[in-house]
Structure 1
Amino acid sequence: MKKILSTFIFLIILSCDDGDIIVTSFEFDDVDLQLCEGSITDEFVFFKINTSVNEAIAYRFISDTYSQTSETENDIIIDLNTDPDNNLIYRQFNSAITADYYCSNIPDSSIGVTDELIGIGGQAVITNVIVSEDDNDGVESTLESPNEIDPEADPDGDGVPNYLDDDMSDPTIGNEDATADSLGIEAGYNSDEDQIPDFRDQDDDNDNILTSVELPNSDPNDSSFADTDGDGTPNYLDKDDDDDGINTIDEDVDGNGNPRDDDTDRDGEPNYLDMDDDNDGINTIDEDTDGDGDPLNDDDDGDGIPNYLDANNPMNDVSNANEVNPSILDNTVITIFRTTVTITNLILNEENDQFTDDNFSFGFRDETVSITTPKND
């Protein structure tokens, strides 16, 4: 449904009491900042409603720079005036209102405005920044960082988060090692070196198996992360989960990009977790007959099936075992954008003792979205 902010368009029609307005409360600190988008392009209205005394304050503006889901490179600064396209209005009502008063096509005709103040001067300052990003993979972001450091924190106040900061205790040193080809992610924050820090990476070891899938172990009474080969590196960070000399991503023998559905010997254990992939009694790592550390390249009988998958079973036709995997899994990040709205040097159309501070803060509003991008971009 298109949202037409009729409340602002019909200001002249809606009547208010004459004389000085006595604001009885103007208490909005504990009230959520809400947002409606208008029916015309780039039209927005931020508002707060104090239901306890039937009052509200709203700021409507048009901007082709603002977006709820894009960071503002610089503050958006807009001069206030009485133009319907850019105004701040405080109102008291004769009955309770909801967000529909500002967001619906037609305002409820039974709601009357008893008092009104209009901002006739000042500036609106609007910013929108990312305050949190997480891959929602089941591992806390602090556990995906060295020494359980919050990767997004900025203890030295230099504007550079820890995972990019060359010296997190020195405000004069930021992300000095960033280049055109590298974000400059610090050591310990990016296990697979794919330019995505672990706390934003759904596949931390880049093996085409999501971290969330690699976490659980087979013991319901054990809360530790799964470590199939017992090498001290949990599966979600281990490029070779069964320590058979073949990286997990290369055990995708059917080449469909999913190592989880490949079980050559049909024993119920996928190859990437199976130390003997063809169940011939010889561990995969011991079928590296040329001793180069790569069982993928050993095919002693020349039948096109590498030894580690060849148990003299004609059904095991896996001649594509050495093919490059078609793609890396896309990566989805749960991202929280925070919009902050502040009115500076506010001038109202009437004097009022309640407005002793000409800088009015609307507070902030968070918008949570899932952003998916191809990981191999």
Structure 2
Amino acid sequence: MKINIIMNRLYFLFFALLLINCSEGDLIEISVDDLNGDLENCSNENDNTFVFFVIDQDINRSLSLNFTDTSFEIIPENVSEISIDEPTVITLNTTSNQFIYREFDTSINGTEYFCNSIPVSGITVTQELISSNGTAEISYMEVTSSTTETTYSRTVTLKDITLEGNGIAIRKQSLVLGLDNITIPN
């Protein structure tokens, strides 16, 4: 009986020491959920590259989806190119189709930074996380229609992504990058 009490106390002491000595390391607080900005986009038709991006000027952060696709257009020329039944699915990787989280040392102009073939100088990226997997889904829903034009709501959603960089990994099951409206003449 006395041996059981001593053993129980030793187990408790060992467990308490284990809890005290365990460390999660430095607490790194990166949130990709709460950026406060509008979904913007641009394309380079010469090499079929596209980018959707959101910039939060208050905290100098951005989220961007960069991808290459020969069949996708930012603003389709006619309604037949938009599928409201099935989203356009883009498989993410670490090279050509990337979802990227960035923090900057200063505020940036998204069009100048993401849409020029040579980005503006004098901006330092202080933190960068790049997707290693997952998918991006671009879906459309008809909002209004008239005899002259149709307006669609476009939503960019990222699914099952892992953002990695500098010893950090963030896993998200679903993240809505943003939505915008596009109007197409009928």
> Could you tell me the TM-score, scaled by structure 1's length?
0.37
Counterpart residue number, 2:131 = 119
Change (3 A) 1:44 1:103: same
Deviation for aligned residue 1:362: 1.0
One-letter amino acid of the structure 2 residue matched with residue 110 of structure 1: G
In the alignment, residue 58 of structure 2 is paired with which amino acid? S
Is 1:104 the equivalent of 2:110?
no
Matching residue of 1:48? 54
1:75-103: CA deviation from partner (whole Å, max 9, x where unpaired) = 222221101x2101100000110121001
CA distance in 2, matches of 1:334, 1:36: 22
1:370 is displaced (CA, Å) by: 2.8
Q: In 1, are the aligned partners of 2:54 and 2:178 still within 8 Å (CA)? A: no
For these two proteins, the number of residue pairs brought into alignment is 153
CA RMSD of aligned residues (A): 2.5
Q: Find the residue that maps to 1:368 and give its secondary structure.
A: strand
Shift of 1:340: 1.4
Taking a change above 3 Å as real, the CA distance of residues 125 and 44 of structure 1, as seen in their structure-2 partners, is same
CA shift in 2, pair 1:65/1:53, >3 Å:
same
Name which of 148, 156, 177 aligns with 1:362: 177
Please tell me whether the aligned partners of residues 55 and 92 of structure 1 are also in contact (alpha carbons under 8 angstroms).
yes
**Matched letter for residue 72 of structure 2:** Y
The Cα offsets for residues 77-134 of structure 1, whole Å up to 9 and x where unpaired, read as 2221101x21011000001101210012321110110001111011111223432112
Question: Aligned partners of 1:74, 1:105: CA distance in 2, in Å?
Answer: 32
Cα distance in 2 between the residues matched to 1:117 and 1:111: 17
> Which whole-Å CA distance do the structure 2 matches of 1:35 and 1:130 have between them?
20
CA distance in 2, matches of 1:65, 1:20: 42
Q: CA deviation at 1:334?
A: 2.4
Question: In the superposition, relative to structure 1, how do residues 65 and 334 fare at CA in structure 2: closer, same or farther (>3 Å)?
Answer: same
Aligned equivalent of 1:336: 151
Preserved contact between residue 43 and residue 49 of structure 2 (Cα < 8 Å)? yes
Question: Are positions 1:23 and 2:47 aligned together?
Answer: no
Inter-CA distance 356–105: structure 2 relative to 1 (3 Å threshold) = closer
Aligned 1:1-377 pairs, distance under 5 A: 22-23=29-30, 26-28=33-35, 30-67=36-73, 68-69=75-76, 70-72=81-83, 74-83=86-95, 85-99=96-110, 100-134=112-146, 200=147, 333-350=148-165, 355=170, 357-371=172-186
Equivalent-residue separation in structure 1 for 2:137 and 2:53 (angstroms): 15
> 1:27·1:50 contact (CA, 8 Å) conserved in 2?
no
**Contact 2:33-2:175 within 8 A present in 1 as well:** no
Tell me the amino acid that sits aligned with residue 156 of structure 2: V
Which structure features the higher share of strand residues? 2
**Alpha-carbon distance between aligned partners in 1 of 2:31 and 2:163, rounded to the nearest angstrom:** 16
Corresponding position of 1:289: none
Are the equivalent residues in 2 in contact too, given 1:71–1:130 (CA < 8 A)? no
| Aligned-partner Cα distance in 2 for 1:27–1:348 | 16
Say which one has the larger Rg. Answer: 1
With structure 2 as the length reference, what TM-score do the two structures score?
A: 0.72
Shift of residue 24 of structure 1? Answer: 6.0
Task: Say if 2:100 and 2:163, in contact at 8 Å, map to a contact too.
Answer: no
Structure 2 unaligned runs (5+)?
Answer: 1-25
User: C-alpha distance in 2, partners of 1:25/1:346?
Assistant: 12
